[in-house]
Structure 1
Amino acid sequence: MGALDKGYKADELIRLAANKSVSARNELVENITDLFLSPGGRLNEHERALMNDILSKLILNVEHHVRKELARRLAESVDLSGELVSMLANDKIDVARPLLEKNPLLHDAQLIEVIRNRTDAHRLAIAVREFVSADVSDELIEHGNEDVVEALINNGSAEISEASLEYLVAESKSFDRFQEPLLGRQDLPPALAYRMYWWVSAALRRRIVKEFDVDETLLDDAIEMATKHSLQQTGEEDGVMDKALKLARKLDEEDRLNATFILQSMRQEKVNLAVAGLSQMAGLNVKIVWRAFRERTGESLAVIAKSIGLSKEEFTSLFLLVMQTRSGGKARATSLLKSILTMYNDIKAANAKAAVRHWQRDLGYQDALTDMKEAI
């Protein structure tokens, strides 16, 4: 015999069902919930189907706080019908969250429906479920905001397809917050980790080398191939810069390209010529030299200058002229200048050249702080 056959609350349930008031319906839902949860009131299959049917019909007509409490109490129940679970999962987030996070009855199709039609708060609750399939992950990545995607990446039990991981690795170049959790995933292919090498922070780059157990020479080769594959080839040598580069090459061929030319170009406010000259002397892409000019700390510029043999005095003049160009006024000796000159003294020429060789391999050098630090 089941709970209802024994007359367990049967009269009370009938009375409440006949009463159409909001308070009676709220009480009816609470009583039916008690039947689901009470150890002494276990329902047989027929009674469970009946209770699910009653709840499904009443649930949208009861007070919000009742639905919220019902969802909280039944969050992990496996006795609920698919229809009832789906209704609660599509409710307002404070009702839906417990089921979206914990209920095992929610199938991929139901979760995907919620992802496509509800809010980012709903998607976030799904992203932290104990298990998330690859299909559900794909939908979360497509429809969710950054918080949702980051939570998904941090969920080690979530399945993420290799195609989605490849997409997320590419996105991590723009969204720093994705980088560390991606590198912490057990399912991240080494090839994708290598691709991240240049644009992640120095600490994460060291982690790639350490945790993915790869020879650094092989890593450089993998990075170079990935870079050549992913970077779009653009015609950078046009207009003013094209002419500046041609002049720098001509002067280099005539053995007249030197620090004097670079400094004179800066003093005459011919910054393109100075950039082109440094690019030619260091064998670097002009984009890298431009980035070094824009970098406030001057570390990249110091490494480049050391690699081509500029004296401390020549580098000091170059650094001050670059600062002046950035500020639009006269550059002053500051604590920054003092620190960068101390660094310049400490940089070993051989290490600076090694760092520049890395930069020659990849335009995405801008985050390669490890090479700068190793040059000291």
Structure 2
Amino acid sequence: MSDASALFGEETASPAPLRARHALLKRLADVVSLPASRVNAFERAVTGDLLVEMLRLATPEERRRVAARLAPLAELPNSVSRLLLRDEPAIAGLLIEQCASLTDADLIGCARDAGPEHRLMMASRRGLSEIVTETLFSFGEMEVIEAVLRNATARLSQVGLEAVVALTRQHPALSAPLLKRPELRPAGAYVMFWWCGPEDRRTILQRFAVSREVMQEVSEDVFALAAEEGWADPVARKALQFIERRQRNRAAIGKSPFDDLEQAVAVAARDGLSRQTATEIAYLSGIKPLSGAKILGDPGGEPLAILCKATGLSRTDLHHLWRSMRRPERLADGAAHPDWERVQITYEMLAVDRAQTVLRYWNWSLSSALTPELMRAIREGEEDAVDEYSAPEWAAMMILGEDLGR
């Protein structure tokens, strides 16, 4: 006996005519379908209970006809909807796809109690709420998740988005539909950048590399206030470091063996990029060595273009830095290597201010938010230890989780 037969207790042999049953099922479905002016809520509920008892012993075709009859209703007895939503996909789908009166509770119950086929049909339903899409995401079914992402009428919560952002690392096919979602914010996009392919990286930079001009305008006088206080408040200092227009660290020049950032890059191009030179380039660029290592070690190379554009380095400096890492510039036939060509395009397409936003967000999440407690949580995989309200902490967990967990 099939699962559906076990659920509904279907009779396997019934030679007697079933015209009375067919007629009664139709009449009860008609009563349930009556407007509120003809039947009150209690009468509808009792009729629904009786209908459920008959449907449990009905054939799939009988249940299908009843489902088709009830799907357009603006009000449906809960007992009937619960039963039919857990029926075979061909029957439950009539309600999932057509019944506008289903509540979030109805849909969540169906998602939890039914199977993958039900959830896949539900993923394409119009007007899914945040709590329903979160529930669908929780099963980790890639086909269902992708269908939800492609459903333009579905609404996604930030909790649900963060879960999908994490999944894109192991399931790259989710990246493209996720990047088209209006709910996605720069925090999630900047995190995804590290493991996305070239096309998705280009999309991220075109859509999410935002300007800080408004923040700079409203906080212009605050810089003077912070300076009067001797930059004593670490909270204000970190925020202002993110907002300010200057990217390079002037204080680092006095401690560096190099005259400026350009000289450090030129030496790296001549002698190769050593650990010490890479550290100095990071400090002179106004970022921490951990951020610099992540950028310089990226196999795609686009972060290198972002670093150069944000710090005011020229195209020649970008070439020197690329050469310092012994990265390929030409193919065997003499044509430009695709990686090097893509890095140059990335450099040209970004404005300085927007490149600085991306660079500073990476540095913020990879260093400023990286407390000893968070480092320990990342190494041990303790996601509960991450402050759910801190975008930089969450970003650091996503970006470094795999690297530090090895």
Q: Normalising by structure 1, report the TM-score.
A: 0.55
Deviation at 1:263, TM superposition (A): 3.4
Residue in 1 aligned with 2:269? 263
Deviation at 1:321, TM superposition (A): 5.0
Q: How many angstroms apart in 2 are the aligned matches of 1:130 and 1:299?
A: 38
* Aligned positions of 1:163-242 closer than 5 A: 165-171=157-163, 173-174=165-166, 175=168, 176-177=175-176, 179-183=178-182, 193=185, 195-196=187-188, 198=190, 202-203=202-203, 216-218=212-214
* Aligned positions of 1:1-376 closer than 5 A: 21-22=13-14, 24=16, 29-35=21-27, 55-77=51-73, 81-104=77-100, 106-132=102-128, 136-143=132-139, 145-149=141-145, 151-152=147-148, 165-171=157-163, 173-174=165-166, 175=168, 176-177=175-176, 179-183=178-182, 193=185, 195-196=187-188, 198=190, 202-203=202-203, 216-218=212-214, 250-252=256-258, 258-263=264-269, 265-266=271-272, 271-296=274-299, 298-302=301-305, 304=307, 312=316, 316=319, 318-323=321-326, 334-337=334-337, 340=340, 354=353, 357-363=356-362
Deviation at 1:259, TM superposition (A): 3.8
Deviation at 1:293, TM superposition (A): 3.5
RMSD: 5.4
Conserved? CA contact 2:279–2:289, under 8 Å: yes
Q: How many angstroms apart in 1 are the aligned matches of 2:190 and 2:332?
A: 33
**Residues matched between the structures, number:** 302
Conserved? CA contact 2:85–2:96, under 8 Å: yes
Deviation at 1:65, TM superposition (A): 4.2
Percent identity, please. Answer: 17
Question: 1:22 aligns to what SS in structure 2?
Answer: coil
Deviation at 1:320, TM superposition (A): 4.2
Conserved? CA contact 2:25–2:66, under 8 Å: yes
Conserved? CA contact 2:282–2:288, under 8 Å: yes
Q: Is there any run of 5+ residues in structure 2 with no aligned partner, and where?
A: 1-10, 169-174, 194-200, 219-234, 240-251, 366-406
AA partner of residue 159 (structure 2): Y
Q: How many angstroms apart in 2 are the aligned matches of 1:289 and 1:217?
A: 25
Question: 1:335 aligns to what SS in structure 2?
Answer: coil
Conserved? CA contact 2:295–2:304, under 8 Å: yes
Moved more, 53-62 or 253-262: 253-262
Closer, same or farther in 2 for the Cα pair 1:135/1:297, shift >3 Å?
A: closer
Q: How many angstroms apart in 1 are the aligned matches of 2:45 and 2:340?
A: 75
Conserved? CA contact 1:75–1:99, under 8 Å: yes
Deviation at 1:363, TM superposition (A): 0.7
Deviation at 1:110, TM superposition (A): 3.5
Q: Is there any run of 5+ residues in structure 1 with no aligned partner, and where?
A: 1-18, 230-245, 367-376
Q: Normalising by structure 2, report the TM-score.
A: 0.52
Q: Deviations over 1:57-80 (max 9, x none)?
A: 342334434433443343224686
